Amino acid sequence: MKTKKLVQLSLLTAIALSIFIVELQIPNPLPLPGIKLGLANIVTLYVIYRYRAKEALLVLMARIILGSVFSGNLMAIMYSLAGGICCFVVMSVLYDKIEEKYIFIVSILGACAHNIGQIIIAIFITKTLAIMMYLPWLLLSAMITGLFIGLCTQYLLKSRAILIQK
């Protein structure tokens, strides 16, 4: 990997990590635990569209691991990895199949996959399928937040607010 690209990806990782840490400080206004915007995913989706899936995976994994360390919540790493990897797989498969103007669809499906991955881990940890009753609420929130994240990323890609030359 060239130095310029490494620096750019490092900066994007730092941005995603900063967003993640700030978002942790925002209290959840909903009575349902675990629902959040996932603003750091703007960076992941941006990297998928501006670079390649391989680079996006590096940024995502660095953010998840460092985010767990910096937040002091190492137990959350299992949920973050499961959700992040499921989300990444869906988004990286769809990004070249769905036009950039419909990036919000990629984001919504990625957010849904993220929640499904987290539910699977929760079932594995709790050893009960009853947790599946929470899935419809998570998927509803994923559709809303995924739309928001997708529209934000689409705006960012169009505006060229982050000028990165390959």
CATH number for the domain spanning 29: value is 1.10.1760.20
* Overall domain count for the chain: 1
pLDDT tens, 137-150? 999 999 999 999 99
- At residue 10, what are phi and psi to the nearest 5 degrees? -65, -40
In a domain, 151, yes or no: yes
In a domain, 164, yes or no: no
Domain of residue 79 covers 3-159
In a domain, 134, yes or no: yes
pLDDT tens, 19-39? 999 998 888 877 777 788 899
Amino acid letter, residue 36: K
HEC sequence for the chain: CCHHHHHHHHHHHHHHHHHHHHHHCCCCCCCCCCCCCCCCHHHHHHHHHHCCHHHHHHHHHHHHHHHHHHHCCCCHHHHHHHHHHHHHHHHHHHCCCCCHHHHHHHHHHHHHHHHHHHHHHHHHHHCCHHHHHHHHHHHHHHHHHHHHHHHHHHHHHHHCCCCCCC
Q: What is the pLDDT along the chain (166 residues), one digit of tens a residue?
A: 799 899 999 999 999 999 999 998 888 877 777 788 899 999 999 999 999 999 999 999 999 999 999 888 877 899 999 999 999 999 999 988 998 889 999 999 999 999 999 999 999 999 999 999 989 999 999 999 999 999 999 999 988 766 555 5
Tally Cβ neighbours within 10 Å of residue 11. Answer: 13
In a domain, 76, yes or no: yes
In a domain, 10, yes or no: yes
pLDDT at 161 (0 to 100): 63
In a domain, 166, yes or no: no
Confidence (pTM) = 0.90
In a domain, 29, yes or no: yes
